Amino acid sequence: MTDIRTTPIEADCFYHIYNRGINGENIFKSDQNYLFFLNKVSDFLIPVCNVYAYCLLPNHFHLLVKIKSDFELDSLVKVQNLDKATNATKIGLHSPQNIFSKQFARIFNSYSQAFNKENKRHGALIESPFKRKLITSDEYLINTIIYIHQNPQNHFLTPEFSKYIFSSYQTILSNSKTLLKREEVIELFDNRENFILSHKKDIELDCEF
């Protein structure tokens, strides 16, 4: 079985990405922390993947993403003047694995520096490398979305996960502007009503947190 820290990141694939603070320490202590992290996701991840669901909790987070195509990643590399060789997105430093990992590292570094400065701490904040699981079926994809949204309730942070503000559940049901793949998520569940209904069943995944 492939280790969840070394599962290859490949173009056009869905992944459940999750991680936590060092020694289980809290990595979010204020609303501003959560919002700053989401802004970094927007800045650094949206160029290389589509985000379908997320949930941020005090000491960990979950993301469901689909890595963009080789063509889109290749275009990104060229825009950033990184493409120095033929098929650069498919090999070496410019593989989907390394492009995505580099962007994720930029989130961690930027967020950790700001958090450490604010809280007068030093050293690593978030475990490395990040955990990831390849999504291998539509059923697994749907169940992962539900699991991510139910996470606050499962960790007893709220009696109703649907009211937790630092997850994508409310955004997917709203009409507010978003970078989430809202229409694609609803389509996975057939419609809005079934999205809500499907979230009423308990979902268990093989996930540490």
Q: Report the number of distinct structural domains present in the chain.
A: 1
Distances, alpha carbon 180 to alpha carbons 54, 167, 173, 183, 185, in Å: 9, 11, 11, 9, 9
Residues spanned by the domain of 76: 14-198
204 domain residue, yes or no: no
2 domain residue, yes or no: no
Structure tokens at 120: 């007068």
33 domain residue, yes or no: yes
Q: What are the phi and psi torsion angles at 120 (to 5°)?
A: 50, 50
6 domain residue, yes or no: no
57 domain residue, yes or no: yes
Domain CATH for 88: 3.30.70.1290
> How many of the other CB atoms lie within 10 Å of CB of 37?
22
List the helix and strand counts (H, then E) for the chain: 7, 4
172 domain residue, yes or no: yes
pLDDT digits (tens, 9 = 90+) for 132-156: 999 999 999 999 999 999 999 999 8
1 domain residue, yes or no: no
List of residues 6+ apart from 153 with CB closer than 8 A: 159, 160, 161, 164
Asked if 142 and 184 touch (Cβ cutoff 8 Å), the reply is no
Rounded to whole angstroms, the Cα distance separating 193 from 133 reads 28
What's the pTM? 0.90
Q: Give the pLDDT score at 79.
A: 67
Asked if 135 and 9 touch (Cβ cutoff 8 Å), the reply is no
Asked if 9 and 100 touch (Cβ cutoff 8 Å), the reply is yes
Q: Give the pLDDT score at 96.
A: 83
Question: What are the helix (H) ranges across 53-179?
Answer: 70-79, 96-119, 138-154, 169-173
164 domain residue, yes or no: yes
Q: Give the pLDDT score at 83.
A: 45
Q: Give the pLDDT score at 75.
A: 81
Give me the tens of pLDDT residue by residue for the chain, a chain 209 residues long: 456 767 899 999 999 999 999 999 999 999 999 999 999 999 999 999 999 999 999 999 999 999 999 889 888 777 665 444 434 444 455 688 889 989 999 999 999 999 999 999 999 999 988 999 999 999 999 999 999 999 999 998 999 999 999 999 999 999 999 999 999 999 999 999 999 999 999 998 888 78
